Amino acid sequence: MREGIRTYIMVDHIHTYDDLPVRIYSELDEERYEVRKIEIFKDGSIGYAYDDVEVGPTGLGEVPVPPLDEIAQDPYEIFFPKEITKAEFEKIWNEKVVKGSV
């Protein structure tokens, strides 16, 4: 099975809500659908999702993730999105999900 082109992003979300993540990491497929996601909350707790697995309040998006410039221009929220490397994403995934769930 061919994996295809993947994109990795990190989005900082500036807000005062306790129930929304302050940082989101996503692995996107070639159509920009989320494949894996990690959400970090203000209190340090995490949620993550992949395949049919959802931990905490986190789930994979049902629509493609918009381009980074569109995320940054959201008129209702303050987001700071950026593309990261596969290695950066895998490091966070391994720290927060693989090692964190053992």
Q: For residue range 29-86, what is the model confidence (pLDDT) as tens digits?
A: 999 999 999 999 999 999 999 999 999 999 999 999 999 999 999 999 999 999 999 9
> Cα–Cα distance between 79 and 73 in angstroms, integer?
8
Mean pLDDT score, 97-102: 72
Q: Which residues pair with 80 in a beta bridge?
A: 12
> Cα–Cα distance between 69 and 80 in angstroms, integer?
9
* Beta sheet of 21-28, edge-to-edge order: 53-55, 46-50, 34-41, 21-28, 7-14, 78-84
The yes-or-no verdict on residue 1 having pLDDT over 50 is no
pTM of the model: 0.92
